[in-house]
Amino acid sequence: MSLFEQARNVIAGGVNSPVRAFAGVGGDPVFFRSAKGARVHTEDGRELIDYVGSWGPMILGHADPDVIAAVVETAERGLSFGAPCVLETRIAERVCDIMPSIERIRMVSSGTEATMSAIRLARGHTGRDKIVKFEGCYHGHSDSLLIKAGSGALTLGVPSSPGVPAGLAEHTITLPFNDAGAVQSAFDELGDQIACVIVEPIAGNMNMVPPVPGFLEALRDVCTAAGSILIFDEVMTGFRVALGGAQSMYNIEPDLTTLGKVVGGGMPAAAFGGRAEIMASIAPDGPVYQAGTLSGNPVAMAAGLATLQKLVEPGFFERLGESTRRLAEGLKGAANDAGIPLAVEYAGGMFGFVFTDESEVRRFDQVAAADIDRFRSFFHGMLDMGIYLAPSAFEAGFVSASHGDAEIDATLEAARAVMKTL
């Protein structure tokens, strides 16, 4: 019996998060035994160069010695207290220093919890119910965010998962990503009812799709005019595309920011924060309730703080960005040499590629129309050659500080060989 079959006997679907099941690429998932630096080791004895990085957190690489040391030292003093500890304050100070838009912060345990809490806070603070989200952006699996668009921009949406009450759909407006005109139309009709707009400033859950010029600025303007709250979901992009996240790249200051992945250094940790006036509405200071037994867990705080301390070192993001550039442009070159159309994006330690005739991808429908079969073949070809990419055409990839010339060169050599077979 395979490891996956064993897992399916006791774990729903055989995995504890759906994309791990390889449904998007076919075949059985790879089971990991250990990881170090830019490489992972599988239960069947293979060594792979990893571009998933636990879906983004491992910006330093796996098992960074300083992070591990901080975790071990903290764990020896206790795993959880359910009471305040100094490490919570220290990491909060670090985050607020790096991201000036965050004046007050609240630690939680997952990105889903962060976005769910930020939306509840926005609704409670404004006294409004409706929210705006965008096609192709993923903000976790809370009920309000698993709503897809109706037949028109302002028609009622419908739940995109069983178990989500249909009544919630009337409060969720789903619009096309990068369409400022649709946003303006929604606010013209319903602006005084909209509590918040939540957006991935660089979408990373429909591959990697950056904002078109003016889109984020338009969101800032309409929210300001309507008294709505602008939430940047930087669970993926925070400390990943730049030290200050995507908001520092585009010089846009959101009212609230959600963080995850890198902020926990590989441990289950996330956060939401923003303007002090808004955060004052959270209990115990205000009436909007949010709580978590393991929020601010000392071991997770230690891992996150040790990670952030390394990111602020001079030249860190310049070096990371150069590795990502070499990889992304190398993939583009390999595709061009093989006569295969490929659109590529990258920023900081994040990259994406789509098999499409389009010169650039800026909308969800462009990603959905891409050559998914070719991606599947490329994924398995690369895996056979020792390269582990995200097992879905709709996911971004991640480079770490541990990806050196040897890893990039080996990856591009494999890519050139595989591209010729597609």
Give the catalytic positions in this structure. 138, 233, 261
Give the tokens for residue 8: 């399916």
Give the H or E element holding residue 219: helix 215-226
Backbone phi, psi, residue 350, to 5°? -130, 140
* First CA to last CA distance, the chain: 32
| Contact by Cβ (8 Å): 102, 165 | no
For the chain, counts of helices (H) and of strands (E):
14, 16
| Contact by Cβ (8 Å): 239, 270 | no
The residues near 324 (Cβ < 8 Å, ≥ 6 apart) are 346, 347, 348, 349, 350, 351, 399
Pairing, β 194-199 against β 229-234: parallel
Q: Is the dihedral of CA 265, 266, 269, 270 positive or negative?
A: positive
User: Of 201, 181, 211, which is closest to residue 247 (Cα–Cα)?
Assistant: 201
Give me the half-sphere count of Cα atoms (radius 13 Å) on the Cβ side of residue 271: 32
Range list of β-strands (E), 109-225: 130-134, 147-148, 158-159, 172-175, 194-199
Give the tokens for residue 220: 């800032």
Query: Rounded CA gap, 355 and 337, in Å?
Result: 14
Amino acid at 8: R
Query: Rounded CA gap, 160 and 281, in Å?
Result: 30
Give the full edge-to-edge strand order of the sheet including 104-108.
104-108, 270-274, 256-259, 229-234, 194-199, 130-134, 172-175
| Contact by Cβ (8 Å): 374, 340 | yes
Burial class (CB in 10 A: 0-12, 13-18, 19+), 240: buried
